[in-house]
Chains A and B, each alone.
Chain A
């Protein structure tokens, strides 16, 4: 079955940076859009960013635009999220999730277990 495993979370001071990774396996990674979705403690789900299978198109939520960068390495089957200028409101569990391939239906059909980012001094 499809597997997504996030890593890279941790405690960081306000204004700091972090890079999250999501290792994908058991599917043709380069064929699929990939997303990051976050969830603040006790709160709901918020979409953060997405990237096309070939890496040529990216989009972001307004709340992270200019601070976060989504990227991927299809040779390594790995998705990344670079988090810069972190704020307390960025504290959340960050999930990677698989999107559609080609013209397939747009949903998040597989999710990783999440990696926790805590922004605090």
Chain B
């Protein structure tokens, strides 16, 4: 099974800050990497698929990069509504379609 490791597990940043979340796969997954955002009490929603493609209708301040084993999610200018937990997920080796442990983003 492929293990997904996210870091940090939590962070706090000011509005307008640039935020980067890292996700590492236990072996190469090419670009088979998706990112999700989950706000408290709600279902997750797809943010980015294929490592770097922004889901339709979402703000361009979100971007993804990486290939192989190392990936990043970047929020270029953090907004209050971005307070949430972010998860990476690999879709290379199925099953299981494993998720990272999550990164909780808080606003200072």
Chain B residues lying within 8 Å of A60, measured Cβ to Cβ, are: 95
User: Which of A9-17, A44-52, A72-80 contacts its partner?
Assistant: A44-52
- List the 4 shortest-distance A-B pairs measured between CB atoms, nearest first: A106-B91, A111-B43, A47-B97, A107-B34
- Rounded to whole Å, the gap between the CB of B5 and the closest CB of chain A is 12
20 A-B residue pairs with Cβ-Cβ distance under 8 Å, sorted by A, are A44-B87, A44-B101, A44-B102, A45-B38, A45-B89, A45-B99, A47-B96, A47-B99, A50-B94, A59-B94, A60-B95, A61-B95, A106-B94, A106-B97, A107-B91, A111-B43, A111-B44, A112-B43, A113-B43, A114-B43
Question: How many interface residues does B have (CB within 8 Å)?
Answer: 24
A-B residue pair count with CB separations less than 8 angstroms: 58
Interface residues in chain A, defined as those with a beta carbon under 8 Å from any beta carbon in chain B = 35, 44-47, 50, 59-62, 95, 105-114
Find chain A residues with CB under 8 A from B43 CB: 95, 111-114
| B residues at A contact (CB < 8 Å) | 32, 34, 36, 38, 42-46, 49-50, 55, 87, 89, 91, 94-102
In the complex, what residues of A have CB within 8 A of residue B55's CB?
Answer: 109
Give the shortest distance, in Å, between A60 (CB) and chain B (any CB). Answer: 7
Contact yes or no, A107 B87, CB < 8 A: no
Asked if residues A59 and B102 are in contact (CB atoms below 8 Å), the reply is no
Chain B residues in 8 Å Cβ range of A105 = 49-50, 91
